[in-house]
Amino acid sequence: MKFLIAGAGAIGAYMGARLAQAGFDVTLFARGPHLRAMQEHGVRVRSVEGDFQTQPRIVGSLDEAGQADVVFLGVKAHSLTQLAPHLKPVLGPDTTVVSTQNGIPWWYFQGFGGQWDGLRLERIDPGGVISASIEARRIVGSIVYFSTEIYEPGVVQHIEGNRISLGEPDGSRSERCRRIAEALVTAGLRCPITTHIRQEIWVKILGNASLNPVSALTRATLAQMLRDPGVAEVIRKIMQEVEAVSKKLGMELSVSVEQRMAGAAKVGEHKTSMLQDLEAGRPMELEALVGSVVELGERVGVAMDHTHTVYSCARLLAQAASTNSKT
């Protein structure tokens, strides 16, 4: 199989490096200083599991990349609207597209069935740009459970974790999922195939929609937030509202709110991705992780007072951070 990592940031470059190290045909698409550093030195990975360096094919243009059998979308959700319309050159008749974005993915309601079938969330897919660019039949969902960051251009720091779940939106066990999972396992990752990808997405959203924005507002780690009784109660209320939205959609989650909070507390003094982005001066994934859930709550008739309050405050923080970065 020929793999393309479309958006080789921290997560994408790490996955691409693992695949290249295992001998797979993989191309990484990137931009800016990170692109130039990888073209000159390859991808350098720092990890407690062992540092390594690989030399996969690195391109700065999708036209140059050529068609692939499997395309991993490595950009964050707010960048996908810019990337998706340019994917045509890399999509062959049977190319599979694996989404790795956090939050509610743009494809979530495609083939969902019932009254919500085909629902499009404006905060996730404004104007339908993404869904118009990527056919539903191509999509395999995924949930990433490892943490990485760009230490410096061309150098990826692997912090912890090595699991990525794959799942067909229709819940089937497909041959394409099996083949992609086998490749990722060969590359040193854990890659279970789930028949309940939509439910698993909601388990992660419980934390995404609560822990991420609260951490940005408080500058606190997971352990700090959950040790504080008042902050922990705000997080609990947001998770309960998110859970209520998922139940409206017929989802039965595999963990309770209390279990989700306990799991986050065990991670310890870890900064969420949203707080890392804020501190680094990067745009936060606010709409994908929180705004989309608020929008969906409005659609399905669930009151989300706590979620909306935190979202509004975090949105103002994001606007102020953006203004300050330009001055």
Examine the domain organization and report whether 226 and 140 are in the same domain. Answer: no
Examine the domain organization and report whether 148 and 216 are in the same domain. Answer: no
**Which pLDDT score is estimated for 40?**
96
What's the CA dihedral at 181, 183, 184, 186 to 10 degrees? 120
**Which pLDDT score is estimated for 15?**
97
Examine the domain organization and report whether 25 and 74 are in the same domain. Answer: yes
Mean pLDDT of the chain: 95
> Whose structure tokens read 């979530």?
108
Domain endpoint, select from 195, 229, 258: 195
Q: How far apart are CA 192 and CA 300, in angstroms?
A: 31
Examine the domain organization and report whether 94 and 220 are in the same domain. Answer: no
Question: Does 204 participate in catalysis according to the annotation?
Answer: yes
Q: How far apart are CA 271 and CA 267, in angstroms?
A: 10
Starting at the earlier edge strand, list the strands of the sheet with 91-99: 57-59, 25-29, 2-6, 68-73, 91-99, 139-144, 164-167
Examine the domain organization and report whether 169 and 224 are in the same domain. Answer: no
Q: Which amino acid is at 231?
A: V
Q: How far apart are CA 218 and CA 279, in angstroms?
A: 12
Q: How far apart are CA 158 and CA 12, in angstroms?
A: 12
Per-residue tokens: 285: 């994934």
**Which pLDDT score is estimated for 149?**
86
Examine the domain organization and report whether 68 and 158 are in the same domain. Answer: yes
CATH of the domain at 147: 3.40.50.720
Q: Residue 123 is part of which domain span?
A: 2-195
Q: Is the pLDDT of residue 327 over 60?
A: no
Examine the domain organization and report whether 111 and 223 are in the same domain. Answer: no
**Which pLDDT score is estimated for 51?**
96
pTM equals 0.93
Examine the domain organization and report whether 8 and 123 are in the same domain. Answer: yes
Q: Which residues contact 176 (CB under 8 A, 6 or more apart)?
A: 96, 140
Examine the domain organization and report whether 206 and 316 are in the same domain. Answer: yes
Examine the domain organization and report whether 153 and 35 are in the same domain. Answer: yes
**Which pLDDT score is estimated for 147?**
85
Residue 71's DSSP bridge partners are 4, 97
Task: Please check whether residue 71 is in contact with residue 95, taking contact to mean a CB–CB distance below 8 angstroms.
Answer: yes
The percentage of residues in the chain with a pLDDT greater than 70, rounded to a whole number, is 99
The percentage of residues in the chain with a pLDDT greater than 90, rounded to a whole number, is 88
What is the DSSP annotation of 220-276? --HHHHHHSHHHHHHHHHHHHHHHHHHHHTT---SS-HHHHHHHHHHH-S---HHHH
The per-residue pLDDT for range 194-221, each reduced to its tens digit, is 999 999 999 999 999 999 999 999 999 9
Examine the domain organization and report whether 47 and 107 are in the same domain. Answer: yes
Beta strands in the chain (DSSP E): 2-6, 25-29, 43-47, 52-54, 57-59, 68-73, 91-99, 139-144, 147-152, 155-160, 164-167
**Which pLDDT score is estimated for 326?**
66
Of the listed 204, 247, 248, 326, which one is catalytic? Answer: 204
Q: Is the pLDDT of residue 164 over 80?
A: yes
Give the total number of structural domains in the chain: 2
- Among 304, 301, 303, 198, smallest CA distance to 254 is for 198
Q: How confident is the model at residue 270 (pLDDT cuts 50, 70, 90)?
A: confident
CATH of the domain at 284: 1.10.1040.10
Examine the domain organization and report whether 141 and 175 are in the same domain. Answer: yes
